[in-house]
Chains A and B, each alone.
Chain A
Amino acid sequence: MAVQWPEDVNKKFYGLTTGAEENYVEVQFESGRKRRFKKNSTVPCTHSFSFLLKNKAEEKAFWRWYKEDLQGGAVEFEIPSILDPSENQCYMLASPPSVEKSQYPKEATLEVFES
């Protein structure tokens, strides 16, 4: 079940990088043509984006959400789709979040994929 984005953390994302997951398995022998077989009907996109944690309360709320609601990345979360904001989309974290800079606002970066 997808969890919602924390209310106390802003959604002003920036620095978006979008990619996609590989969706084929290739068969190739010593000679002859390469054949590719499709893995899935839909190709999940991957995204990397950042947002600013303005103060200590916001940073605390973000980590509480990551540790408790998101259970350290075990479950998916739902936000307006990054490619089409008119619809909601479920995402999973591809790697644990990172928060940089020692002073506020701190820059948090998430890497996600469509689940």
Chain B
Amino acid sequence: MNSSFEKLIRRNGDYCLPYLIHIYGTYLSDGSEHEVSLYFINDTEDLSYKNHVYKASAFSYKSGVFEYGFSGGGTLSIAAEEENLFELIDAGSAFTLDVTGVIDEDGEVTELRSFSHSYGKVSVSPTQLDFTFDKDERLSMTFPTLVWSAQNNRGNS
């Protein structure tokens, strides 16, 4: 299991629900490349963290199931208020979602490193965007290389 996640569940009620997320990528428009870097927090107030202002926004992030320490994907539903997000999707460009932290009871941010997603599906409606991020594709391998050993695959080694 992922160490950050373990840390989260060991704590008792110390954590609040707001997540800090960073969505970034590039898209082509008018023949030139535009960079998009958006910082959001699902809270009622903006938050400054590590020289970035996380804009109070309306979204819900849920992590997928971690397997063998690999990310199990996740889902993000976000209110369609940011035009740049539409442009990223409209251009079919690659982008990444990093969940950079979670707020604890004191208002401090606990940094998260393992919640990062790049591939998946998105459905668009006038009110919200629903992202479904895929799990790490190495988990689909018959013998995931990073967890394979002669011990756990005796019949096949």
B12 at the interface (CB under 8 A from A): yes
Contact, CB under 8 Å: B15 / A37 = yes
Nearest chain B CB to A27 CB, angstrom units: 8
Q: Which of A25, A27, A38, A39 has the most CB of B within 10 A?
A: A38
> Could you say which of A40-48, A58-66, A79-87, A95-103 contacts chain B?
A40-48
A35 at the interface (CB under 8 A from B): yes
Contact, CB under 8 Å: A41 / B16 = yes
Contact, CB under 8 Å: B16 / A44 = no
B105 at the interface (CB under 8 A from A): yes
Contact, CB under 8 Å: B13 / A44 = no
Contact, CB under 8 Å: B12 / A35 = yes
Q: How many of chain A's residues have a CB under 8 angstroms from any CB in B? A: 11
Contact, CB under 8 Å: B13 / A40 = no
Chain B residues within 8 Å of A42, by CB:
44-45
Q: Which of B12, B13, B15, B45 touches A41 (beta carbons < 8 Å)? A: B45
B43 at the interface (CB under 8 A from A): yes
Residue of B nearest to A37 (CB): B17
A36 at the interface (CB under 8 A from B): yes
Contact, CB under 8 Å: A37 / B13 = yes
Chain B residues within 8 Å of A39, by CB:
16-18
Q: List which B29-58 residues lie within 8 A (CB) of chain A.
A: 43-45, 47
A25 to B17, CA, bound (A): 9
> Mask for B105-137, Cβ within 8 A of A = 1, else 0?
101000000000000000000000000000000
B residues with a Cβ closer than 8 A to A are 12-13, 15-18, 43-45, 47, 103, 105, 107
For the complex of A and B, the 9 pairs showing the least CB-CB separation, nearest first, are A38-B16, A35-B13, A40-B44, A42-B44, A41-B45, A41-B43, A39-B17, A40-B43, A37-B17
